[in-house]
Structure 1
């Protein structure tokens, strides 16, 4: 027997009276309409075949089914929908076994939960990531899972989107067996032994947890992502205890359908696709990558140590160096303490932590660290110091070695020229802490060779980073936009707002932290050094706010000194407003003859967003960013812009054009002379081509 769907996405063959139903929809076997239709046809035909006693669902290629086809979520989902396919499986006389390799995520995991049993390979991953896309599981996930594992554990999985390893899934009882190899043959054998015994999850009772366990799991999920859809996912899992399964499945689907058409879900889908588009650079298809096994890191400060950890965590070998032996020893201690803390918290076992730590090896000379596939400098943000170091590395490194700079602002074209290796120097701007922050700006100087750029993108992939490729420009994408945003907030300080008012307004909008809390956390001296470096080229007609400089002169550098825009008493988790700062700000306004006035939260957000959007337009016009969605990725993943709004440009595309233009003009008028700003009208025309406007 051979069954082929209309788009040849599903096929069936018979092995030992078992129908082996194969999903073949590369690259990830997404559950598209053609897959669903093919599955339903296959289930019905296998059911009708008198000699078939069981069935196996398996994916072709590298994965089982890595989720639904979310490109279908912007419009009505065509029948058959996934619940109809799962209903056919549960109603069938045949025992179904899901044979999982690669990923069974979202709809793929729900399809597997609809089967009578699940087997997997050792490297398989399972999970319900729907909450990360602004929705909830919609094909039985919230009801079937708590009939396999206790409700509290089901909440933790369904309301966080966390992925499970095959070993954990086996331990929990979600999968019935794990095989090292020969998945299909083993799955068929398992199905033969299961034949004639239906194990339909919806027919069983949910596994209860205590009220305290449920409350703890719910609170932990909301701490991780406090959004309405997470609350709904939690509520639906809990309904497995107090609703009949038919009504609960109906409610689950209704909530799913409502959420998938929401603005938040659209924003998160936008980011999902934007992250997958970001590494695509015109002209790189077919370009060979250079070898990348060992990475050298020069500079053993906090950032250098953090980068070394990120590289070791990715399975690569790291050689570290610092001209100060004491600094190198301090870095080694810092790295050891990091892994010890992970073990103490239960995030890593001793063996894994030891393996990662062993990948990081200190070097005694610069020549030693230069004998790696890629050497990354992470020293002080000073162009002369970096140029001198890259020139040394250019002389010491092998011919094929890539040289990289972790600069946050500096001219990578200048550094490329200083190296004596023009074309081999790339900017790799990590965000602190590098082992946690997902964003990586790959800065492309004019002379950069295609193989080096392609290898840098491969390096980002190995590290699990979300890369954006930028051209050279002060602050590149993220820091340049953030500087314009922070500058506008400083203007509002002079005009009458206080740090806590501005921070509270922007946090209420959705920013992870307000700009002044961020400044205190990062250290106010970092921005001060940047201002001093650019002082000679600053437009003397442009408005300049002295308040940050005065805080630094007073020794108020932020959290590390116990005081910045806020004061930080011993043990305080959050900064407290400080009358000293209020007085300093009032004095600065008076010296300039500025009459302070009241600000509303709405005006604060309006002006701050106008600054962000205007600077984004300038970056696009200058060709610094490849595409608008790269800017969205940078601000969400590197600077705390709310993901549920899709990034600043996705947000802008959905605003009233007249109101946005008016906000831009207001912001320009209030900012004084010398402000260089983009054109909102031009930006909206660009976005109309790139985004579906709201």
Structure 2
């Protein structure tokens, strides 16, 4: 027999005050049942002659997380939230929002429609809709500027970042210091309202003084956010909605907000950002374990290598309060690594992100050793040594000797065969890949690589551990480069080939930057170091030997000592102390020389060709990865590319972007370049079978299930 579901909204009367409580776990999303419940209980309280005031609050630890965005796909918004808020605002009894916890999105909009608002000083409130490619659609853009001022409202709405309640001046009528006294203080406040016959304060009756929001305010704000808002659709619509709050009465402003909301909802950016919202959450749902799978305790962690990567990885665990033992065989290297970590923490303290005590507490969790025996008792060990198979295998053979039974042995390899590494131990079931992205203490992505023999409890422990150190984990299988680096290979290859064919590095980089990437492939190569790709190519001659043109320009640059920013010259030139790339005509001369040797014709390239030749092969490689089962679902690839490689979130990731523009378009372009680029096209532009199949069926990558 099914258990009776508790009501999403309840009401209890405390004398002459009706207390309406939302209780829809886990976050009081304003789903249909909550909206219906609010209307029902507020209407009943308004009809009850014994009730003189109404409280809206929550049974959960937060007030409300906002809209139920699963309804976006169903389109069932009845009754719409604005109808609920209209009932609240026009009520003839005072309605007081008591925010006992965070209020975001529609949750805050409920509070904005109430006549009074009460909370505690350190509570958090926000309107994060911009992160979903939309804007607050239930009056937030109209009511918040009236209550908190236009400048503060712009900051909150356009950034989407939460604010501490005490910092939003004018929003709350009472702010208490002690959360435990919130409801008692609220009842006293409301009884005073009733006793004094206080007026019903409707937000719609507030007019904004235009002098407080001159045109220059909006112009300066637009200029200030131009860089971070690049490519996004909704920030500008958010600004326009707030502008409407200044010039229009509330009813007309709400209408304008609704129009702008629908513009956003219909945009590809909103579809992509909402896709990514769900993709990030879906990445943690994998078929390799279930609720019954046990986990292993991770109380101490060992890190092999105290360089930039090893130190960054160690910081993640220290930040989470987990003790770390760092191994370097030379004391000097160990001291240098620990000093670098302290310097990083101290820099954060100087910026106000940490206190000096935080720095000391985190450093106290880090200890060093120059002997593998120092790792004998750790629960998880992560090697971050040089990316060479023989070096990795030596390390894992040693770990197999010294680590306790049940310890998880992890490699931070970015390209190498994890199964071969695991085979160098007597316990391959305990071996897993934990591929951190650089800088490891900043980048959110963690590729978790499962080997053929990796145990389910090791996978589950690693995925849960990632959450603890505030990483977004994506589970992938074993192949060269896994998902991220395997797909970046054709992207870099095509950039280099386009230079060989006569395109300038700055032309290529501009096209890719304008597409939305944080930088173009040539700038990225210089920043990372061209020698890194060179060493990878040296180890993969069997893969590239059939193409004599493969990255020949980059190879020439490296062989001439031009390895990138760190030496002041690579594909570009750099002035000392500057990261700004300066085009260098000699690179075009090198490209021309190499093209003549190889018989490659140099020509002009359109922006469309540059974009398609860099991005579409990357997508095509993603199709191979999906078909091979290296990634479980296309959305996992999108998470890797947004968090690991800066693919624009407003395009949703490469696979979502392909679905948005249509796989038929990607397939047709791949065929076109395969046929037009001669032998080179036949080598590298053959469409993946899955791309061909889905394109012909009129489906997208999101439809594919392995």
* TM-score strictly above 0.5: yes
Aligned in 2, Cα 1:14/1:391: closer, same or farther, shift over 3 Å?
A: farther
Give the distance between the partners of 2:226 and 2:492, measured in 1 at CA.
Answer: 29
Which residue in 1 is equivalent to 2:409?
A: 403
Contact 1:151/1:214 (8 A) holds in 2: no
Which residue in 1 is equivalent to 2:489?
A: 483
Secondary structure at the counterpart of residue 303 of structure 2: strand
Contact 1:119/1:178 (8 A) holds in 2: no
2:303 aligned residue (297, 307, 311): 297
Q: Which runs of 5+ in 1 are unaligned?
A: none
1:173 Cα deviation from its structure 2 partner:
5.3
Which residue in 1 is equivalent to 2:271?
A: 266
Which residue in 1 is equivalent to 2:388?
A: 382
- Which is worse superposed, 117-126 or 98-107? 117-126
2:205 aligned residue (188, 203, 206): 203
1:668 aligns with 2:674: yes
1:73 aligns with 2:84: no
Give the distance between the partners of 1:315 and 1:143, measured in 2 at CA.
Answer: 43
Give the distance between the partners of 1:172 and 1:298, measured in 2 at CA.
Answer: 51
Give the distance between the partners of 2:92 and 2:623, measured in 1 at CA.
Answer: 60
Which residue in 2 is equivalent to 1:544?
A: 550
Aligned in 2, Cα 1:479/1:29: closer, same or farther, shift over 3 Å?
A: same
Give the distance between the partners of 2:221 and 2:98, measured in 1 at CA.
Answer: 29
Give the distance between the partners of 1:82 and 1:424, measured in 2 at CA.
Answer: 51
Which residue in 1 is equivalent to 2:225?
A: 221
RMSD value, Cα: 2.9
Give the distance between the partners of 2:334 and 2:117, measured in 1 at CA.
Answer: 50
1:535 aligns with 2:534: no
Give the distance between the partners of 1:570 and 1:175, measured in 2 at CA.
Answer: 55
Paired residues for 1:23-62 under 5 Å: 23-62=22-61
Secondary structure at the counterpart of residue 12 of structure 1: strand
1:329 aligns with 2:339: no
Paired residues for 1:92-107 under 5 Å: 92-101=91-100, 103-107=102-106
1:435 aligns with 2:441: yes
Which residue in 2 is equivalent to 1:108?
A: 107
1:678 aligned residue (667, 670, 688): 688
Secondary structure at the counterpart of residue 70 of structure 2: helix
Q: 1:617-652, CA deviations, whole angstroms, 9 ceiling, x for partnerless residues?
A: 111111100101111111222112222122222222
Q: 1:544-593, CA deviations, whole angstroms, 9 ceiling, x for partnerless residues?
A: 23211111111111111111111111243420110111111111111101
Which residue in 1 is equivalent to 2:260?
A: 255
Q: Which runs of 5+ in 2 are unaligned?
A: none
Give the distance between the partners of 1:191 and 1:318, measured in 2 at CA.
Answer: 53
Secondary structure at the counterpart of residue 110 of structure 1: helix
- Which is worse superposed, 256-265 or 74-83? 74-83
Give the distance between the partners of 2:259 and 2:165, measured in 1 at CA.
Answer: 31
Give the distance between the partners of 2:697 and 2:481, measured in 1 at CA.
Answer: 22
1:165 Cα deviation from its structure 2 partner:
4.2
Give the distance between the partners of 2:582 and 2:72, measured in 1 at CA.
Answer: 44
Give the distance between the partners of 1:324 and 1:627, measured in 2 at CA.
Answer: 43
Give the distance between the partners of 2:159 and 2:401, measured in 1 at CA.
Answer: 49
Q: TM-score if structure 1 supplies the norm length?
A: 0.92
Aligned in 2, Cα 1:119/1:45: closer, same or farther, shift over 3 Å?
A: same
Contact 1:7/1:34 (8 A) holds in 2: no
1:167 Cα deviation from its structure 2 partner:
6.0
Paired residues for 1:574-593 under 5 Å: 574-593=580-599
Contact 2:272/2:650 (8 A) holds in 1: yes
Give the distance between the partners of 1:686 and 1:311, measured in 2 at CA.
Answer: 47
Q: TM-score if structure 2 supplies the norm length?
A: 0.90
1:469 Cα deviation from its structure 2 partner:
0.6
1:221 Cα deviation from its structure 2 partner:
3.5
Q: 1:310-349, CA deviations, whole angstroms, 9 ceiling, x for partnerless residues?
A: 3333343333232232222222222222222223333334
2:281 aligned residue (254, 276, 293): 276
Give the distance between the partners of 2:560 and 2:445, measured in 1 at CA.
Answer: 33
- Which is worse superposed, 473-482 or 317-326? 317-326
Give the distance between the partners of 2:171 and 2:566, measured in 1 at CA.
Answer: 44
1:659 aligns with 2:636: no
Contact 2:375/2:402 (8 A) holds in 1: no
Aligned in 2, Cα 1:306/1:657: closer, same or farther, shift over 3 Å?
A: closer
Paired residues for 1:69-468 under 5 Å: 69-74=68-73, 76-101=75-100, 103-120=102-119, 124-165=123-164, 168=167, 176-181=175-180, 187-188=186-187, 190-195=189-194, 197=198, 198-206=200-208, 208=212, 217-226=221-230, 227-286=232-291, 287-468=293-474
Contact 1:118/1:177 (8 A) holds in 2: no
Aligned in 2, Cα 1:622/1:536: closer, same or farther, shift over 3 Å?
A: same
